[in-house]
Amino acid sequence: MTTPEEAITRLSNALAMMGAGPFDKEALRSLLKDVVDEKHSHYIEQGLISNDKSMIMHGIVGSLSHYEAEKSKEKLDKKFETITEDD
């Protein structure tokens, strides 16, 4: 299973790849494999099919937002565990 940190790194690399100019569609798919959920994957695939960078970016940024929220939740959960252990 991919950790939120690993997913964030891969998604960030995908954004960098998109911003660098022409990109390899298969390399992008490979980079995003197993880190994008079905909803966001749909945006990315539709964008790749229609050469619509905004759709691709929508899918990547949406996934990135999901993992950032997950990472924040994990931090809060750990803080909460520490507080309740002290009681």
The tens digit of pLDDT for each residue in 56-85 reads 999 999 999 999 988 888 888 777 777 776
The pLDDT assigned to 54 comes to: 94
The pLDDT assigned to 56 comes to: 96
CA atoms within 13 A on the CB side of 76: 6
- Token couple for 57: 């970016």
In three-state form (DSSP H/G/I as H, E/B as E, the rest C), the secondary structure along the chain is CCCHHHHHHHHHHHHHHHHCCCCCHHHHHHHHCCCCCHHHHHHHHHHHHHCCHHHHHHHHHHHHHHHHHHHHHHHHHHHHHHHHHHC
**Burial bucket for residue 9 (CB in 10 Å: 0-12, 13-18, 19+):** middle
Which is higher by pLDDT, 86 or 68? 68
Q: What residues have CB less than 8 Å from 85, skipping those under 6 apart? A: none
